[in-house]
Structure 1
Amino acid sequence: MKIGELAKLAKCSTETIRFYEKRGLLTRPDRSENNYRHYTKQHLNRLLFICNCRILEMSHDEIQILIAIMDNPDNQGGHDNAHNLLANHLHHIDERIEELTKLRKQLIKLQQNCHSADQSCGILQEITDMPITNKIIKSHV
């Protein structure tokens, strides 16, 4: 199948497929005589796996590790490695939930404390005046 067909079946863009190929998450397909990429059922299965991992908010590095485990089923430590990876991912998710819960409380407090008597927006002033230490959002690596 061609890249457009693969993208349609996986419900992603052709740019996403090319990106995953460049990252080494998806093996590069053979090319036909007219230089079109020719994808197989194995490409589709791998792409669906990658897309599902991204839905679970796994990083590309985490996905790479899981792919290595999948590609080496005889590796005795593969199951343990996958289990540990998932445990670490859950820990990151728990941290993010805690951060987002704090952020939600902070936003509710901003909204409730806005009692601007003049024409200026109290919310904007509150955000401007916030101490840096109260800004809690971190990015997931």
Structure 2
Amino acid sequence: MKISQLAAVTGVPAETIRYYEQQQLLPAPARLDNGYRMYTEKHVEQLAFIKHCRSLDMSIADTAQLLAFTIEPQTDCTKVNVLIEQQLQKIRARLASLIALEKQLTRLHYQCQHPDKSQNCGILHELVAAAHGEACACHTAV
């Protein structure tokens, strides 16, 4: 199948497929005399695996390692578990950061006391104060 067909089957854009080839996540496909790439069912399977890993926010490097484990299934899966644990730690750290950001934005949101008068806007006042390094309510505890 051509790259456009592979893209349609997997839902992965052709540009991304080419990028994965450059990153050596996907093996180079055979080429026809006219230069068109010809992909196989193996490419479909690998691309589906890559797509799923990327949907789990796995890095290209981690995805490559996981893909290598699928090629060598007799490999000890302890390393796979370590990769997943590391990903969980990254996600948990990001969640903590997002929760802190949510609290800041919530505090900032409650600074609005005159929604119809921008010159008295508590949100803008707090943002300007924070930009000048002044303490603002958006950084204080609720």
**1:27-42 matched pairs, under 5 angstroms:** 27-42=27-42
Instruction: Give the CA deviation at 1:12.
Output: 1.5
**Which one is further off, 111-120 or 81-90?**
111-120
Deviations 1:58-111 (A, max 9, x none): 111110110111122222x2x111111001101111111111111111101000
**1:1-141 matched pairs, under 5 angstroms:** 1-75=1-75, 77=76, 79-115=77-113, 119-120=118-119, 121-130=121-130, 131=133
> Matches of 1:31 and 1:125 in 2, distance apart?
62
- Closer, same or farther in 2 for the Cα pair 1:128/1:65, shift >3 Å? farther
Q: How many residues align?
A: 131
- Which runs of no fewer than 5 residues in structure 2 stay unpaired? 135-142
Question: Considering only aligned residues, what root-mean-square deviation do their CA atoms show, in Å?
Answer: 1.9
Instruction: Give the CA deviation at 1:51.
Output: 0.6
- Which runs of no fewer than 5 residues in structure 1 stay unpaired? 133-141
> Matches of 2:86 and 2:37 in 1, distance apart?
36
Larger Rg: 2
Q: Which amino acid aligns with 1:105?
A: K
Instruction: Give the CA deviation at 1:116.
Output: 5.0
> Matches of 1:19 and 1:125 in 2, distance apart?
45
Instruction: Give the CA deviation at 1:119.
Output: 3.0
Instruction: Give the CA deviation at 1:40.
Output: 0.2
TM-score (norm 2): 0.84
> Matches of 2:26 and 2:124 in 1, distance apart?
46
Q: Which amino acid aligns with 2:100?
A: K
- Closer, same or farther in 2 for the Cα pair 1:25/1:113, shift >3 Å? same
